Amino acid sequence: MTLTTARADAAPHLRVARRLAPAQALYIFGSSVDLTLTGIVGARLAPSTALATLPFSLIPIASVASTFLLSRLIGRFGYRSVFTASACAAVVAGLVSALAVQLDVFWMFCVGTALVGVYSAGAGYYRYAAADASGSQRARAVTTVLAGGLIAAVLGPFLATWVGGLLPVVYVASYLLVALFGGLAVAWNAALPRELGRQAARNPESELGGRVQRVDVSRRGDAAFELPERAQRVEGSRRNVPAGIPAGIPATSPRTRRTLWRQPVLIAGVAATSFAAVSMTSMMTAGPIAGMAMGHSEADAAFAVQLHMIGMFAPGFVIARVIGRLGERTVTIAGAMLIVLAGAAAACSTAQWAFLTAMCAVGVGWNLAYSGGSALITDAYRPSERGRVQPIAEVITNGFQVVGSLSAGILATVPGWRMLGLTLIVLSVAVSIGIAAVRRAAA
């Protein structure tokens, strides 16, 4: 097969991923406002300094709390409806947060940030939706979606601060920007492809015998799409990737949660995404404050956050090809090794070069480990089993984000920053060894 033919074959499968990439961009635009300003605004509104980080911590907490509910709603109404509804939560979140800043009401600001967590939970399913619709191009679909956040990651923090002074009360306009991007996401998500309109009813026979089942997803019958055979993973087997569908198990009966969660490949994937989440969140949240404690300027701290966010999303344009060539496990381990570099830079020096290196390297490491881990997760279940895997994986991953966020307060000092660096080195090595062991077992 020529390269041109391969690209032509991949194009229909990646249609959904390419439509979800702008949805990811709109999500990152809105969430970057909270990422940039919520700590500052929380410190202004909180009745005590001990509560200053509570609004930011409520984002991942609310995301964890709403993940299972959104999974059930996806099963009943489909991805498109849930993505649209979760974007509506962003509109309300922006309006409530803006009103809270205008009125100087801390508890109302907490409600607004918590609603951002609901939006975040919905956006967390974008990569799964893209993978489900992309057949053998799952890894490429995941990275295509994540790459959609690059421009938003670069421009979002600048927009958040630039519009902050447009109204008499500082930062009210910034949170109105969250509502604006949420409204754009509502309109975009409501127009997503029909195959996301509801969960397609899979004929069990389509998963057996190397056949391709064409499933109608429209009542009018004019919007069918192909569901490639998940057991026949030629590309995956070439990379020694287990299909997650052992021979002899009939496709008519979805496996139990216990059976699914005993798969080493699934455990490895969730471990990778969880490790990536806690590493990224802890360094991203503690970094600016720790940087100023080291003697760096606010401009240096802001530049470090920008490098961090660029690192998080820039690899998305090339990482799909790297995964296709090297495999999910190799890319995941490479991400963990970059986080080792970030930890070493944080632990060995407080100089500007070390600080910037740590922030940038952990961002790139997050992308590789998160993309590779997500691809491993989607390899471990059938379409009919997604409800037994996706919400649990998301809760675990978001739970580690909560840990990273809540721990940032004690890590935002020079000794805490160094301790964080050493901790990430140990965790990176442990995760890499575990994923490498799964690879040997699968070979």
pLDDT at 294 exceeding the cut of 80: yes
**Two tokens, residue 131:** 């993978």
pLDDT at 221 exceeding the cut of 50: no
pTM value? 0.67
Contacts with 121 (C-beta within 8 Å, 6 or more apart), sequence order? 62, 63, 64, 66, 67, 70, 86, 394, 398
251 vs 208, higher pLDDT = 251
Listed residue (383, 381, 361, 364) closest to 372, CA to CA: 364
Q: Parallel, antiparallel, or unpaired for β 213-216 and 224-227? A: antiparallel
308 vs 302, higher pLDDT = 308
Question: Do 10-199 and 256-443 come out as alike in CATH topology?
Answer: yes
Lookup result for tokens 């949805």 = 23
Whole-number pLDDT of residue 202: 40
**Fold observed for domain 256-443:** Growth Hormone; Chain: A; (1.20.1250)
**Two tokens, residue 211:** 């056949």
306 vs 346, higher pLDDT = 346
Name the amino acid, one letter, at 172.
Answer: V
Most confident of 26-35, 108-117, 209-218, 232-241: 108-117
Cα-only R_g, the chain? 21
CA distances from 2 to 134, 139, 228 (A): 20, 20, 20
Most confident of 25-34, 84-93, 260-269, 423-432: 84-93
pLDDT at 368 exceeding the cut of 70: yes
Rounded mean pLDDT of 318-326?
Answer: 77
- pLDDT tens for residues 383-409? 778 778 888 888 888 788 878 877 766
Quote the longest CA-to-CA distance of the chain. Answer: 68
Contact 338, 365 (CB under 8 A): yes
Whole-number pLDDT of residue 236: 41
Averaged confidence pLDDT in the chain:
78
Name the residue ranges covered by the structural domains of the chain: 10-199, 256-443
Query: With pLDDT > 70 as the criterion, what percentage of the chain qualifies?
Result: 79
- pLDDT tens for residues 110-155? 999 999 999 999 998 887 888 777 666 766 777 778 777 777 877 8
**Two tokens, residue 300:** 């240096």
Contacts with 57 (C-beta within 8 Å, 6 or more apart), sequence order? 402, 405, 406
Contact 239, 438 (CB under 8 A): no
- Hey, what long-range contacts does 343-346 have (CB within 8 A, 24 or more apart)? 343/420, 343/421, 343/422, 343/423, 343/424, 343/425, 343/428, 344/421, 344/425, 345/421, 346/283, 346/417, 346/418, 346/420, 346/421, 346/424
Contacts with 76 (C-beta within 8 Å, 6 or more apart), sequence order? none
Reported confidence tier of residue 422, pLDDT bands at 50, 70, 90? very high
CA–CA dist 158, 37 (Å, integer): 11
CA–CA dist 308, 299 (Å, integer): 14
Whole-number pLDDT of residue 234: 37
CA distances from 443 to 273, 281, 334, 370, 379 (A): 22, 33, 19, 23, 15
Rounded mean pLDDT of 159-166?
Answer: 84
240 — phi, psi (to 5°)?
60, 40
Whole-number pLDDT of residue 303: 76
- pLDDT tens for residues 8-63? 444 556 778 888 889 999 998 988 888 777 777 887 898 876 677 788 788 888 98
Which CATH code fits 10-199? 1.20.1250.20
Rounded mean pLDDT of 192-206?
Answer: 53
Contact 316, 147 (CB under 8 A): yes
